[in-house]
Amino acid sequence: MEAFGLLVYGFSVLLTWKILALMMVGLVLGIFVGVLPGLGGPNGVAILLPLTFTMDPTSAIVMLSCIYWGALFGGAITSILFNIPGEAWSVATTFDGYPMAQQGKAAEALTAAFTSSFIGSLVAVLLITFLAPGIASFALRFGPPEFFAVYLLTFCSFVGLGREEKHKTIISMALGLLLAGVGMDTVSGQLRMTFGLDELLRGINFLVAVIGLFGISEILLTMEERLALRGHAASISLRTVLKVWKEMPRYWVTLLRSSAIGCWLGITPGGAIAASFMGYNLAKRFAKDKDSFGKGRIEGVFAPETAAHASGTSALLPMLALGIPGSGTAAILLGGLMVWGLNPGPLLFVEHKGFVWGLIASMYLGNVVGLVLVLTTVPLFAAILRVPFSAIAPMIVVSCAIGAYAIQNAMFDIWLMLLFGVVGYVFKKIGIPLAPFTLALVLGNRAEDSFRLSMIGAGGDMRVFWSNGLVGSITTLALILLFWPLLAGGLARLRGGLVNDRKGSAA
Amino acid sequence: MAKSGDEIVVEDPAAPASDSPAVTSNRAADVAVSLLLLAFAGLLGFDNWRTGMGWDATGPQAGYFPFYLSVILAAASLWGLAKEFLVRGQASGTFVTREQLRRVLQVFVPTLLFCLFTQWLGLYVASFLLIAGFMVFVGRIAVWKSLLTAFLFSLIMFVTFEIAFDVLMPKGPLESLFGR
């Protein structure tokens, strides 16, 4: 097993006091961020990214990914104890988690949530360990047309499979791609869309936009709501943990099903949020007594949490192997890679073995340590919610500003962050999704470069995107996904028409 | 076992009333954003056309890719506008109520001032002012608690970023007093 040997190598990279300490710091910060209202995975990672600027890439990615695992764990605490989902994907956890807490079974619900999260991540990490190197070495053969086709596939699947209104997804994506192009054109060196502003020469930094869109806008949105909360305090005893673990094997089908759904949707761009709902709904559909769901059934916590973590983790697979993030947070981590001076893509597995395998090993270790940490420290973190929001909100604003400024040492970026904060607030309110924007902004330049390189190589012939079996099938698949809603509608109508005809002829 | 008796309760005395009148509807906001995006697409489209949106000897020119993206953005905005006018009869939700807007401005205006002050006084002083001011005037938290929290937070940030991680922030007159 080549992967196994490399994994051992990864652990050897990881096992230094410095990295282990950073891991703990990352996990604690992550849980903190996950518990706080108005923050969550992508925001937390974006705001804390500047802390890592002066670190070496391996320490940086280990700390950041641990913030992410911590945030995923932390989201479950508020969902179960307070009925407040910290993230879109924790919504399904509240369905059964909160009723359990109301019945005095908060400790069981929390243990179930943490353990199933752990299992979901573990399955996804195993998948990454054994699949990612293969995909990366396959992708080494990709030329510009293949890469452009893969980018196209990513963008099209967002439009075709997303739940939002199609034109709003397209708006978000086109805007992201346009803003990515501001500044100096990488191929010809020409300036474009700068309108004579010196500050725009550098282009619009991806992380500045993300901090504004997610951090600042989230504060504005949170302020709008009533901030009073009422929930349960809970501590977990070893007896409860063992009791839940003993029950767990009975639900192996649910756990396995949710892991599979999570992995699949996590790798597919745009699928991360759908995973937890799908995990929950399928568990409900296959259960014998459907009515007991939503009333505090432990399976209703297992199913969505496993799926959410499996998808959150497996979203890193395409990011590592192809340089294409599967979720908003993965996109931010990808932005981090570029800041640390790494070039995302399949070559990462060849040129930066220590980095890649250190990260993969840290996924195993981070999840184990995270599980122990949350199980033992729940009461502490739940108490954070007693801190009034009017103290937390300005601190988050300051952290966002520090983050935005640190990236390029530019005051202009703080203003840009504020502008993106307002844009994010308005977009979220009228239902323009932000994830496609984020993805487009981080991939925009690379997508354009690969398009133009393919065009230069082929002398301007668009048929280059169907020039061989591989690139042809990816491009075709992309177009099918783009028009999927229309195709699906057409097929349904066709089938409906046939049924009607048959009915007509029978009568 | 869980002690289900303990409850964590946090009150929000300044919460927006639920019966506050609406400032705008979702539809109005939708139309306004679509129009803005359309104008933006027009502006960028024009700029890219000026840069060169065609082909030359080496392949697509610098403006080619963004020009067609502006066209896509304009088309999607028009699609949104058309949709709004076609479904005119249906009621649309409230975009923001007066009370909600008041609360949002309560955090937005201080943030704006914070950014201005950062330019003159440096980030750490501005951060102290923002946190203390916000806690006292918006959160109605005791003055000594607010000042202490603001001071400690700014200090921790300073130590973390300037000293431990070597990430430098904009600084003003106060920091130069201490020779940093």
Which pLDDT score is estimated for A506?
43
Q: Which residue do the tokens 């940093």 mark?
A: B180
Which pLDDT score is estimated for A271?
59
Which pLDDT score is estimated for A117?
87
CB contact under 8 A, B8 and A398: no
The secondary element (H helix, E strand) that includes residue B8 is strand B7-10
Task: Tell me which chain B residue has its CA closest to the CA of residue A425.
Answer: B104
Task: Tell me which chain A residue has its CA closest to the CA of residue B45.
Answer: A193
Phi, psi of A5 (to 5 degrees): -60, -40
CB contact under 8 A, B62 and A393: no
CB contact under 8 A, A81 and B16: no
pLDDT at B14 over 70: no
User: Please, where are the H alpha helices in A164-298?
Assistant: 166-180, 206-210, 217-224, 238-247, 252-267, 272-286
CB contact under 8 A, B110 and A106: no
Which pLDDT score is estimated for A153?
85
CB contact under 8 A, B9 and A229: yes
d(CA A191, nearest CA chain B) in Å:
8
The answer to whether residues A27 and A373 touch, using CB atoms and an 8 Å cutoff, is yes
pLDDT tens digit at each of 507 positions of chain A: 577 788 888 888 777 888 888 888 889 888 888 877 666 667 778 777 777 777 888 888 888 888 888 888 887 888 888 877 766 677 788 888 888 888 888 888 888 888 888 888 899 988 888 888 888 888 888 888 888 888 888 888 878 777 778 888 899 989 999 888 888 777 777 788 878 777 787 888 888 888 888 888 888 888 877 666 677 767 777 888 888 888 888 888 888 888 888 888 888 765 556 777 888 888 888 877 777 777 778 888 888 888 888 888 888 888 888 888 877 778 888 888 887 878 788 888 888 888 888 888 888 888 888 888 888 888 787 777 777 888 888 988 898 898 888 888 888 999 999 999 999 999 988 888 888 888 888 888 888 888 888 888 877 777 888 888 888 888 888 888 888 877 877 887 777 766 555 544 443
d(CA B76, nearest CA chain A) in Å:
5
**Residue A186, number of CB atoms within 10 A of its CB:** 15
Average the pLDDT over B68-74 and give the result: 90
Does A386 touch chain B if contact means CB atoms closer than 8 Å?
yes
- Collect all residues of chain A within an 8 Å Cβ-Cβ radius of residue B103: 223-224
Q: How far apart are CA A489 and CA A413, in angstroms?
A: 45
Among the listed residues A308, A379, A373, the one whose alpha carbon sits nearest the alpha carbon of residue A107: A379
A204 Cβ partners below 8 Å, 6+ apart? A179, A180, A182, A183, A416, A441
The answer to whether residues A41 and A172 touch, using CB atoms and an 8 Å cutoff, is no
Cβ density class A476-493: b for 16+ within 10 Å, e for less: eebeebbeeeeeeeeeee
- Collect all residues of chain B within an 8 Å Cβ-Cβ radius of residue A226: 12, 15-16
Rg of chain A's alpha carbons, rounded to an integer? 23
Query: How sure is the predictor about B1, in pLDDT bands with cuts at 50, 70 and 90?
Result: very low
DSSP B6: -
Residue boundaries of the structural domains of chain B: 23-92, 97-177
The answer to whether residues A363 and A121 touch, using CB atoms and an 8 Å cutoff, is yes
| Angle at the Cα of A198 from the Cα atoms of A193 and A199, rounded to 5 degrees | 85
Q: Residue A46 corresponds to which tokens in the numbers above?
A: 């974006």
pLDDT at B81 over 60: yes
Q: How far apart are CA A366 and CA A393, in angstroms?
A: 29
| Angle at the Cα of A53 from the Cα atoms of A124 and B152, rounded to 5 degrees | 105
Q: Name the more confident of B69 and A327.
A: B69
Which pLDDT score is estimated for A502?
52
The answer to whether residues A135 and A352 touch, using CB atoms and an 8 Å cutoff, is no
Q: How far apart are CA A331 and CA A324, in angstroms?
A: 8
Q: Residue A122 corresponds to which tokens in the numbers above?
A: 């573990």
The 10s digit of each residue's pLDDT in B116-137 is 999 888 899 999 999 999 999 8
- pTM of the complete model beyond 0.80: yes
Task: Tell me which chain B residue has its CA closest to the CA of residue A392.
Answer: B131
d(CA A193, nearest CA chain B) in Å:
6
The CA distances from residue A23 to A66, A138, A176, A369, in Å, are 6, 32, 32, 9
Does A218 touch chain B if contact means CB atoms closer than 8 Å?
no
Q: Which sign, positive or negative, has the C-alpha torsion B160, B161, B162, B167?
A: positive
Q: How far apart are CA B53 and CA B61, in angstroms?
A: 6
A131 Cβ partners below 8 Å, 6+ apart? A317, A321
Q: Residue A92 corresponds to which tokens in the numbers above?
A: 């399904």
CB contact under 8 A, B115 and A414: yes
Total beta-carbon pairs less than 8 A apart between chain A and chain B: 238
HSE-up of residue B33 (Cα within 13 Å, Cβ side) = 28
Nearest to B135 among A192, A391, A430 (CB): A391
**Residue A378, number of CB atoms within 10 A of its CB:** 27
- In chain A, count of helices (H) and strands (E)? 23, 3
**Residue A110, number of CB atoms within 10 A of its CB:** 31
| Angle at the Cα of A366 from the Cα atoms of A68 and A75, rounded to 5 degrees | 40
Q: Residue A198 corresponds to which tokens in the numbers above?
A: 């010196």
> 3-class SS at A191?
strand
Which pLDDT score is estimated for B3?
40
Q: Residue A329 corresponds to which tokens in the numbers above?
A: 């947070």
Phi, psi of B24 (to 5 degrees): -140, 165
Q: How far apart are CA A431 and CA A47, in angstroms?
A: 24
Which pLDDT score is estimated for B109?
92
The answer to whether residues B33 and A426 touch, using CB atoms and an 8 Å cutoff, is yes
Q: How far apart are CA B24 and CA B22, in angstroms?
A: 6
A:387-406 residues touching chain B, CB 8 A cutoff:
388-391, 393-395, 397-399, 401-402, 405-406
Rg of chain B's alpha carbons, rounded to an integer? 25
Q: Name the more confident of B15 and A21.
A: A21
The answer to whether residues A116 and A313 touch, using CB atoms and an 8 Å cutoff, is no
> 3-class SS at A229?
strand
Q: How far apart are CA A260 and CA A306, in angstroms?
A: 9
> 3-class SS at B22?
strand
CB contact under 8 A, B63 and A82: no
A20 Cβ partners below 8 Å, 6+ apart? A14
pLDDT at B5 over 70: no
Q: How far apart are CA A208 and CA A393, in angstroms?
A: 19
| Angle at the Cα of B149 from the Cα atoms of A222 and A232, rounded to 5 degrees | 50
The answer to whether residues A477 and A484 touch, using CB atoms and an 8 Å cutoff, is no
- Collect all residues of chain B within an 8 Å Cβ-Cβ radius of residue A111: none
> 3-class SS at B95?
strand
Which pLDDT score is estimated for A70?
86
pLDDT at B159 over 80: yes
